[in-house]
């Protein structure tokens, strides 16, 4: 799986969405306080929403994350 470190090396961002507040944005992976070997699909589970602070240990699992899909090649 693609990790945060892979994104940093490639100069890509992490795409993050939140169903709780409808946030959708692109986050610098170096600015996320998680281990660099965190797989991108799990980053959303472990970080808080940049806007509303929702977390996936709360009801509804509102956060999702994937490599920046505006750049082709790596998918989700
Ligand atoms: Zn949110």
Q: Indicate the range of 16-20, 62-66, 70-74 predicted with least confidence.
A: 70-74
Q: How far is the CA of 1 from the centre of ligand 1 (A)?
A: 25
Measure 54 CA to ligand 1 centroid, in angstroms: 5
pTM of the model: 0.87
Question: Helix or strand or coil: residue 27?
Answer: strand
Distance from residue 51's CA to the centre of ligand 1 (Å): 5
**What pLDDT score does 75 carry?**
53
Distance 50 CA to ligand 1 centre (A): 7
Look at the block and give the residue holding tokens 């945060």.
4
Q: Which residue is associated with the tokens 């996320």? A: 32
- The answer on pLDDT for 74 being more than 70 is no
Nearest alpha carbon to residue 4 among 61, 62, 47, 43: 43
């Amino acid at each position: 799986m693609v990790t945060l470190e892979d994104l940093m090396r490639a100069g890509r961002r992490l795409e993050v969405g939140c169903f709780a507040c409808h946030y959708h944005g692109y986050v610098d992976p170096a600015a996320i306080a998680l281990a660099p070997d965190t797989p991108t699909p799990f980053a959303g589970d472990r970080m808080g929403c940049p806007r509303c602070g929702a977390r996936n240990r709360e009801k509804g699992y509102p956060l999702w994350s994937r490599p920046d899909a505006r750049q082709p090649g790596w998918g989700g």
